[in-house]
Structure 1
Amino acid sequence: MAREQLHVLNALDVAKTQLYHFTAIVIAGMGFFTDAYDLFCISLVTKLLGRIYYHVEGSNRPGTLPPNVSAAVNGVAFCGTLSGQLFFGWLGDKMGRKRVYGMSLMIMIVCSIASGLSFGHSPKGTISTLCFFRFWLGVGIGGDYPLSATIMSEYANKKTRGAFIAAVFAMQGFGNLTAGVVSLIVSAAFKNKYNVPAYSVDPKGSTVPQADYVWRIIVMFGAIPAILTYYWRMKMPETARYTALVAKNAKQAATDMSKVLQVEIVAEEAKVESIGRQQNSSFGLFSREFMVRHGLHLVGTCTTWFFLDISFYSQNLFQKDIFSKVGWIPKAATMNAIEEVYKISRAQTLIALCGTVPGYWFTVFLIDIIGRFTIQVMGFTMMTVFMLALAVPYHHWTTAGHHAGFIVMYALTFFFANFGPNATTFIVPAEIFPARLRSTCHGISAAAGKAGAIVGAFGFLYAAQGKKPEDRDYGYPKGIGVRNSLFMLAACNLFGLLFTFLVPEANGISLEEMSKENDDDEQQLETSSTAVPGSTRTVPAP
């Protein structure tokens, strides 16, 4: 039996789009801008780190990070992110979204700066320090996922909620783009100031001491947008859904949202107390009741995000290696260290500009029209198709004259990742779970995604290496090659498509209706318990 919706929550659901919506998008979105910048800028400078710290005297090839070091530099932030998503997701439900929001941002600010100041008496010491701070940077980034998604979903109206959450996540595209642009500007400035010969001309002179400043400046720049955002995060009021449904403070929820919405809202203390009494015996995350109501939903959000991130982060982190293998980026020995950073940055910027950023905004404009499910199915399908289109005729794409076609197809996989599951896997977990578990379940789903990113970061690094010595980067073991790796990524996308059918559609439905928080707990649980064993449905109806 449905309970009557609280006035304050109904006011949020039917509110017209106004300034506070856009303010919330910018405040939450700048966190994601910083997240993306910090996660992806490292891939632009890993080759430079190899030249600076791992040059082998007398070698005919520029220095390269050893496989285990490269995997650590690229993947350690993901390990931290996974930890942060689980911890801050849980903390957001226990302490409140706002109280935890500033903590994660402050960790990001401190660790961005500290990463650029990494020190050591030896290459091993410097890289170890860098990895240490990037782990904790990842913890802060991880906290941003469940908190930003939950805050935006709880502030939004039900008509345009998907677009608002997608707009927050779309800032990740601008963060990715900015990483390329900043790296491009910094490397161009140093390249123009120092006339450095190519490695093949002068191995020692191809990496000037000033190159050490390049990667440090690029890494530290990520602290700037985080610093600019901190004050406004602290000024945001707690979401009414947490205050009313979890903290049980009807008066504070009404006061906060009266200021935000600029309308008079009645504090329904008696109704909130009634809801509180009913929820005191409500199910927890590890209860049988949760499994009945939302177990398959959580499986669906975790698995789709896991398979998506294997593919998405593999593509992002190692696109420089793929571009080198197809000849779009010249061989390392033909360039000096700073020029190599410039060429890699130019390639990533072009991909972000043409494929990544447009994909995000297609989702923003269309998600509340065609729905989350349709976009996710379409995205996984097209990613599978384009991965196979790259893998099957791979030798055709790698021959001279066909590189442009490879780049176009590769950019299209990014477009449909972002106009597809990379956005929807972030949005849906913030909509379908109860308020008291919303941040936790989003954190679990996001952590499953980062587990996929770790698989991509560590696994693809080895898998993409060729079987012949000339097809492998210096010091790397045998792998299955780029072509077979693309087949593996296509399979991941296909699995993501299949698990999408476990996730319900939340388009146009209020958060309380979606999570069944408006239903009488006892009757709903009794109905669910008797219906599930003999049912043939795989997903409970929303």
Structure 2
Amino acid sequence: MSSKNLDVLNALDSARTQLYHFKAIVIAGMGFFTDASDLFCISTVSKLLGRRYYFDPTSNKPGKLPHIVKNFGYWSGLGCPRAVMGTLCFFRFWLGFGIGGDYPLSATIMSEYANKRTRGAFLAAVFAMQGVDPIFSTEPEADYVRRIVLMLGALPALLTYYWRMKMPETARYTALIEVNAKQAAADMGRVLDVEIQAEQEKLAQFKAANDYKLLSTEFFQCHGLHLIGTMTTWFLLDIAFYNQNLTQKGIFPTMGLTSSASAVSALGEMFETARAMFIIALLGTFPGYWFTVFFIEKIGRFYIQLVGFLMMSIFMLIIGVKYDYLNTKEHKWYFATLYGSTFFFANFGPNSTTFVLPAELFLTRVRSTCHALSAASGKAGAMISAFGVQNYTQDGDVNKIKKAMMFLAFTNMLGFCCTFLVTETKGKSLEEISGEDAGKSEAEMTHKPPTYRPEASWE
């Protein structure tokens, strides 16, 4: 039974772009806004925590977090700083638990609601909400500020919970997995202007033809290479990407974007760090996300990911080789340009596409699970970055930093190579991509770069 004979899938794939599609972007994207708030505010919060709880009166220098505490591997203890850090670790664990669940759900919801012409752009737009995190800086007591900044992250989480509870299940899941055509038609009729016929018998035949599970020979024959590809590329990306974010505040003084800690107050340091992060986001991170949104349906996921990994590798290699030259006040703008370019090509590249591809490559039954496995692999890479690369370079030794940057350039080249394990997905229905449509998966075809062809314009 081909999906081309199923009205429910044809209606979703050919539906014109409607207001609810953009509403779904916002609802699904709010989870990523929360994730961004957590990821990017922690740099400024950690500086305030260091000043507040780790001041050394003998040296009369501003305090800073010990490295193991900075990476939040410090759980035990009842003393004041230990209790604070332990509490923060506890709640960040549950934040990670929630965000970890949100990654695959947001991706799957958007991929299954969107039509096939705009699916990649809409998925990229959901992920681009990571780049719309506001910066707050005020001048009351520093301890109150870090509490307020952390508490503000609860607002998008609450909004996400409320809107998600009011969002119906996707028609693909209801029809293909629950085999309830009538409910799928009713749900889509509530939110989209599409007509869907109840085709119970056809749906039952379609499910029977594609009813294999994740741990099965059929899955590994059809999608084993795809899963290896999405997991390895996300893993390798996050080794470099999280290192970029964790090292920002240490690189800003070299670029002249922040003053030395001893020259400013705690809130002054927080304000300067937030301002520097805003500049990097405005010139590198934010444009990269939205370049992906606007070009993903023209260039395709495959080429964007290849070019992104390649350019990140080149820029990091240059930084590593020429670090002595760049790490001076005289050449700070060269450094800033190279550093900002790595953020641009991370986001107009694998940081966006590693989120998009797992939401498209796999069949409906295991789409969320495979996306979750890919995302979890990425977080494993982030841990290596935090506890491996960061620990290696924590003493600021120039030779170690140069070696670390060359290592990160190498991991990006590995990501470039592993991209050839996935295939292009633009312009195709989810069932064509996954192999549910005709019983033949993309994984059974050669993994050659796809031939470029213009796509239909947005409706």
Give the TM-score band, short-chain normalised. over 0.9
Residue matched to 1:174 = 132
Comparing 342-351 with 146-155, greater Cα deviation is found at 342-351
Say yes or no: does 1:499 pair with 2:418: yes
Q: What is the TM-score of this pair, normalised by structure 2? A: 0.93
Secondary structure at the aligned position of 1:72 is classed as coil
- Alpha-carbon distance in 1 for matches of 2:173, 2:293: 25
Question: 1:457 maps to what in 2?
Answer: 386
CA distance in 2, matches of 1:130, 1:496: 33
How far did 1:228 drift?
2.7
SS at match of 1:401: helix
TM-score (structure 1 length as normaliser):
0.79
Question: Structure 2: which amino acid aligns with 1:455?
Answer: I
CA contact under 8 A between 1:388 and 1:487: conserved in structure 2? yes
- SS of the residue corresponding to residue 443 of structure 1 reads helix
Deviation for aligned residue 1:484: 2.0
Residue number in structure 2 paired with 1:361: 290
Shift of 1:123: 1.1
1:71-98 deviations in Å (ceiling 9; x for gaps):
216x99xxxxxxxxxxxxxxxxxxxxxx
Superposition deviation, residue 309 in structure 1: 0.7
**1:278 counterpart = 2:236:** no
Matched with 1:214 is 145
1:512 aligns with 2:441: no
Unmatched segments (≥5 aa) in structure 1: 77-118, 191-209, 473-478
Report the Cα offset of residue 324 of structure 1: 3.2
Q: What is the CA-CA distance between 1:445 and the residue it aligns to?
A: 0.5
Q: Distance in 2 between matches of 1:462 and 1:324?
A: 20
Partner Cα distance (1:330, 1:318) in 2:
16
User: What is the CA-CA distance between 1:465 and the residue it aligns to?
Assistant: 2.7
Task: Compute the displacement of 1:539 (Å).
Answer: 7.6
- The counterpart of 2:375, out of the listed 446, 449, 453, is 446
| 8 A contact 2:302–2:449 mirrored in 1 | no
Q: Please tell me whether the aligned partners of residues 50 and 63 of structure 1 are also in contact (alpha carbons under 8 angstroms).
A: yes
Q: Tell me, what secondary structure is at the counterpart of 1:440?
A: helix
The whole-number CA distance in structure 2 between the counterparts of 1:5 and 1:241 is 14
Aligned positions, number: 450
Instruction: Name segments (4+ residues, structure 1) moved above 3 Å.
Output: 1-5, 276-279, 324-328, 537-542
Task: Give the aligned residue type for 2:346.
Answer: A
Tell me what 1:82 maps to.
none
State the alpha-carbon separation in 2 of the partners of residues 37 and 507 from structure 1: 31
Q: SS of the residue aligned with 2:116?
A: coil
- How far off is 1:327 after superposition? 5.0
**Equivalence for 1:227:** 158
Task: Confirm or deny: 8 A CA contact 2:424 2:449 kept in the other structure.
Answer: no
Superposed, 1:262-411 pairs within 5 Å as 262-279=193-210, 282-325=211-254, 327-411=256-340
Mapped to 2, the partners of 1:263 and 1:136 lie a distance apart of 39
Q: In 1, Cα distance between the equivalents of 2:447 and 2:161? A: 43
Alpha-carbon distance between aligned partners in 1 of 2:131 and 2:450, rounded to the nearest angstrom: 33
Q: Deviations over 1:269-293 (max 9, x none)?
A: 11112223334xx322121221111
SS of the aligned residue for 2:104 comes to helix
| Corresponding residue of 1:68 | 68
* Distance in 1 separating the partners of 2:5 and 2:150: 47
Which residue pairs with 1:134 in the alignment?
Answer: 92
Contact 2:13 2:429 in 1 (8 A): yes
Structure 2: unaligned runs, 5 residues or longer: 452-459
State the Cα distance separating 1:439 from its structure 2 match.
0.2
Q: Tell me the CA shift for residue 431 of structure 1.
A: 0.3
Aligned residue in 2 for 1:146? 104
Q: Give the drift of 1:67.
A: 1.9
Identity percentage of aligned residues: 57
Kindly state the Cα deviation for residue 413 of structure 1 after the two structures are TM-superposed: 0.7
Q: Aligned to 2:361, what secondary structure does the other structure show?
A: coil
Displacement after TM superposition at 1:265 (Å): 1.8
- Tell me which residue corresponds to 2:454: none
Residue type at the aligned position of 2:120: G
Structure 1: distance between partners of 2:366 and 2:383: 25
Q: Which residue of 2 aligns with 1:51?
A: 51
Q: Equivalences for 1:395-434 in 2 at 5 Å?
A: 395-434=324-363
* Distance apart, 1:399 and its partner CA: 2.0
Superposition deviation, residue 461 in structure 1:
2.0
Deviation at 1:64, TM superposition (A): 1.9
Superposed CA offset, 1:157-184 (max 9, x none): 0011000000000000112xx1xx12xx
- For 2:449 and 2:201, how far apart are their aligned partners in 1? 31
Question: Residue type of the partner of 1:8?
Answer: V
Instruction: Render the CA deviation track for 1:432-474: whole Å, top value 9, x for unaligned.
Output: 10000000000000111111111112223212234xxxx47xx
Report if aligned partners of 1:464, 1:480 keep a CA contact under 8 Å in 2: no
CA contact (8 A) 1:5 1:518 kept: no
- Asked if the contact 2:142/2:266 (under 8 Å) is kept, the reply is yes
Q: Tell me how far apart the structure 2 counterparts of residues 215 and 62 of structure 1 sit (CA, whole Å).
A: 17
Counterparts of 1:337 and 1:263 in 2: how far apart (Å)? 56
Instruction: Tell whether the 8 Å contact from 1:309 to 1:453 is kept in structure 2 after alignment.
Output: yes
Compute the displacement of 1:337 (Å). Answer: 1.6
Alpha-carbon offset, residue 480 of structure 1: 5.4
**Cα contact 1:239–1:253 (8 A) shared by 2:** yes
Displacement of 1:325: 4.8
Distance in 2 (alpha carbons) for counterparts of 1:381 and 1:230: 38
Does the CA contact (< 8 Å) of 1:325 and 1:398 recur in 2?
Answer: yes
Alpha carbons 1:465, 1:480 under 8 Å: kept: no
* Contact 2:15-2:194 at 8 Å conserved across structures: no
Indicate if the aligned counterparts of 1:293 and 1:540 stay in contact, CA closer than 8 A.
no
Cα deviation for residue 334 of structure 1 reads 1.9
Checking the alignment, whether the CA contact within 8 Å between 1:26 and 1:168 is kept in structure 2 is yes
